[in-house]
Structure 1
């Protein structure tokens, strides 16, 4: 039987993250992928509606509170403890209680329309 130890630092040191759910597929311009790159700008309206601007597109979303929160875990292996016989431990570093849901198609942002001559 494998025993997994999960601990947490304290309520004060625990961060709260937000999950973003996008419908469709996002492709990076370069072949290295999206990791470490800027996806877009996230803003909120006065009513609390999340607005995501990606390139020349705008997406409107909504805030959804999760029924069952997620825990973000960090693994502390045997190497971290210095003894080869020590079992791996997991530390709760953050909780995810809400998500931003963007399920509509992106709308193009048009700044100026040229007039016909």
Structure 2
């Protein structure tokens, strides 16, 4: 899952986060453009905890600092020479391990 993040470290390298989910996400439709949106990630909780909205379900999570940071690298081959470029640093993960809660917007009255 790729997320846009504007946070950078002191060297200007973007900081990314890992999203960890317990379970399986099944998407109903494939988007012809190749971009599939699974849900929305928000930080609007009172405590600043991440909230993930997938369809008609809400998952509450927490931000966990990784014990050892990881680097996301890109392999570049130019004139038979291999170089590696650091694309981002991963220092935290967003952990969603609780069961999803359904979103109920309107309850129909008895007809």
- TM-score w.r.t. the length of structure 1 is 0.76
Q: Which has the higher contact order (CA 8 A, sep 6+)?
A: 1
Greater gyration radius: 1
1:115: Cα distance to partner? Answer: 2.5
Report what 1:101 is aligned to.
Answer: 95
42-51 or 65-74, which deviates more: 42-51
With over 3 angstroms needed to count, the CA separation of the structure-2 counterparts of 1:101 and 1:56, relative to structure 1, is: same
Report what 2:105 is aligned to.
Answer: 111
Whole-Å Cα distance in 2 between the matches of residues 25 and 67 of structure 1? 26
Q: Does residue 89 of structure 1 match 2:83?
A: yes
Report what 2:36 is aligned to.
Answer: 37
Q: How does 1:1-117 map to 2 (within 5 A)?
A: 11-30=10-29, 36-44=35-43, 45-77=45-77, 81=78, 83-84=79-80, 86=81, 88-116=82-110
- TM-score w.r.t. the length of structure 2 is 0.80
1:37: Cα distance to partner? Answer: 1.0
List alignment gaps of at least 5 residues for structure 2. Answer: 1-8
List alignment gaps of at least 5 residues for structure 1. Answer: 1-9
CA RMSD of aligned residues (A): 1.9
> 3-state SS of the aligned residue for 1:99?
strand
Aligned residues: 100
